[in-house]
A = this chain, B = another copy of it.
């Protein structure tokens, strides 16, 4: 592991890259302890604060964890799915919120991915997944539910569908797409009528999943996507007309 002191790049960034590459290459294996900050500083010929900045960069990516005390230090972290989830959701949420992505594009991606795991879910879903879906449908039928709670329940429902595929990589990839859309979905005011419509579709989907009818799940997801986009467009249109009104007034 070497760095170039003459480079214009931050030393801490270079050191972080060197260590990261070592981890990816397998030169540093899971749970292995890195040299102490003092030793690293000595090795790279930099000061301890610089080394620390590098380590914090790696910690931010969940690549290492640190422990204080005599036998403490920095250890290569076994990247868990929940950590990967969290990062994925943060990144996806930011991509969307910074308006680099339109609602339609995000929505299309989400349902395309979801439909990808529908056949697998039809095949492998357990009673647990079905129970979660039914429970969320029941929750969504409660009249007093806020829009936020309705959306959260929606996310849980779809997560159950995705998890039913029994493929952790798929679940992890989809977590970003589904959860990242929640803030956007929260902007939609769900009328009693639209909730009824969505719950009906959810019920049909749950039935199809129970019946292991992949083709039907796919068709229902297409309908749900169309309806979701329709709702979103209504919201945008309503907002636009309100703006126009303000302009003329």
Interface residues of A (CB under 8 A from B): 12-13, 16, 20, 23-24, 26, 30, 49, 52-54, 56-61, 63, 78-81, 84, 87-88, 90-95, 97-98, 100-101, 105-106, 108-110, 112-113, 115-117, 120, 165, 167-170, 172-173, 176-177
- Report Cα–Cα, A79/B97, bound state, in Å: 10
Q: A78-B98, A112-B165 are in contact. List 13 more A-B contacts (CB 8 A).
A: A20-B90, A24-B97, A49-B52, A56-B57, A61-B91, A63-B94, A79-B91, A81-B95, A88-B91, A112-B116, A113-B116, A116-B116, A169-B177
Nearest 3 CB-CB pairings of A with B: A116-B116, A109-B169, A57-B60
- Report Cα–Cα, A97/B88, bound state, in Å: 18
The one of B58, B92, B101, B115 that contacts A116, using a Cβ cutoff of 8 Å: B115
- Report Cα–Cα, A63/B172, bound state, in Å: 21
Given contacts A24-B90, A52-B53, A100-B81, contact A173 B109 (CB under 8 A): yes
- Report Cα–Cα, A224/B150, bound state, in Å: 41
- Report Cα–Cα, A55/B97, bound state, in Å: 21
A18 to chain B, nearest CB (A): 14
